[in-house]
């Protein structure tokens, strides 16, 4: 497996600059003043990944999530936005398929074997949501409008965004395909809570999401931050353990992945990127910012979420 991944990496010229041989010298630098570090991947039985976009978990927590999947844990992925970037449905539907390619690889299902993926429309809290099952994983696509990095939204979807919804700048937000409308932040929280399974046993549940703290996780995409705040808000009434992951700022940290973790993280990201390029070569996330994406492959920083304050 390792040799095939390295061979794949060789096809990306900037990824050849990935200096995994130096990782052993940097492995001891995981503890920062903010207390953000890499946490060991202890099997918990069930994991839930709440992210904004279809490539977020691969970039910021891919090796951890893949470890849980390979350990046999049941994983639920919740993608809040369509990741549309203000573009048409061909783009965001491709992103959904690309995310499932990463999931296939993580579960060990052949990346080209689409017959092992079952997708359907389900209703949760009377909202229509796309659901796809691959082995021991389930993915839910809420398809809400991408909010743009600053949370201002895009003209194509009337400048709607998660940031505006939570800040009560707008009263409702509608999925980009018109499949569902959420009237207020509490409505969205209630639906996500149902997807996670609020009535199920919570003692073995671990939620993975973006770190909502501006201090610990500065300069992040506002959609990422809203995903973290959504989980943080839900944890005020649910006894869920959670890990908060550094987003864009991870590139400023020291490399801290082992050789094997870096290979695994790279492999699941490339599964996503290859599907994007299969449809349109210009849609490669890696080619847009090769230095940044290379840095993400050798870095994962997380903290255990603190006990939330009561409302």
pLDDT in tens, 244-293: 999 999 999 999 999 999 999 999 999 999 999 999 999 999 999 999 99
CATH 2.160.20 corresponds to the domain 2-15+44-304? no
Query: Taking the model in full, what pTM does it have?
Result: 0.86
The continuous run of DSSP H or E covering 49 comes out as strand 46-51
Query: How much is the pLDDT for 297?
Result: 97
Q: Average pLDDT in the 203-226 region?
A: 94
From residue 17, alpha-carbon distances to 118, 281, 293 in Å are 38, 22, 12
Banded pLDDT at 197 (limits 50, 70, 90): confident
Query: How much is the pLDDT for 204?
Result: 76
Burial 64-92 (b: 16+ CB within 10 A, else e): bbbbbbeeebbbbbbbbbbbbbebeeebb
Query: How much is the pLDDT for 183?
Result: 98
Structure tokens at 165: 């919804």
Residues forming beta bridges with residue 207, ordered by sequence position: 48, 242
Residue, of 140 and 72, whose pLDDT is higher: 140
Banded pLDDT at 112 (limits 50, 70, 90): low
Query: How much is the pLDDT for 109?
Result: 75
Mean pLDDT: which of 23-32, 111-120, 192-201 is highest? Answer: 192-201
């Amino acid at each position: 497996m390792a040799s095939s991944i390295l061979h794949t990496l060789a096809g990306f010229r900037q990824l050849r600059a990935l200096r995994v041989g130096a990782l052993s010298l940097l492995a001891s630098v995981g503890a920062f003043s903010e207390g953000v570090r890499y946490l060991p991947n202890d099997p918990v039985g069930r994991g839930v990944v709440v992210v904004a976009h279809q490539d977020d978990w691969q970039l910021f927590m891919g090796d951890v999530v893949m470890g849980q999947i390979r350990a046999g844990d049941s994983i639920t992925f919740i993608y809040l936005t369509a990741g549309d970037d203000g573009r048409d449905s061909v783009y965001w539907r491709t992103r959904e398929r690309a995310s499932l390619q990463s999931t296939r690889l993580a579960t060990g299902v052949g990346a080209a074997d689409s017959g092992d993926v079952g997708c359907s429309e389900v209703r949760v809290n009377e909202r229509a949501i796309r659901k796809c099952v691959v082995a021991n994983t389930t993915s839910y696509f809420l398809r809400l409008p991408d909010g743009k990095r600053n949370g201002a939204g895009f003209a194509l979807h009337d400048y709607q965004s998660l940031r505006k919804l939570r800040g009560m700048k707008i009263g409702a937000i509608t999925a980009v395909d018109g499949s569902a409308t959420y009237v207020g932040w509490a409505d969205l929280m209630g639906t996500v809570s149902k997807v996670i399974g609020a009535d199920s046993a919570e003692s073995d549940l671990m939620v993975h999401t973006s770190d909502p703290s501006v201090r610990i996780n500065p300069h992040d995409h506002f959609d990422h931050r809203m995903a973290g705040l959504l989980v943080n808000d839900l944890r005020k009434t649910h006894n869920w353990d959670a890990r908060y992951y550094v987003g864009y700022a991870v590139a400023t940290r020291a490399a801290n992945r082992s050789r094997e973790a870096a290979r695994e993280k790279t492999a699941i990201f490339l599964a996503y990127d290859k599907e994007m390029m299969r449809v349109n070569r210009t849609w490669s996330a890696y080619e847009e910012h090769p230095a940044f994406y290379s840095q993400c492959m050798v870095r994962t920083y997380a903290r255990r979420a603190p006990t939330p304050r009561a409302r």
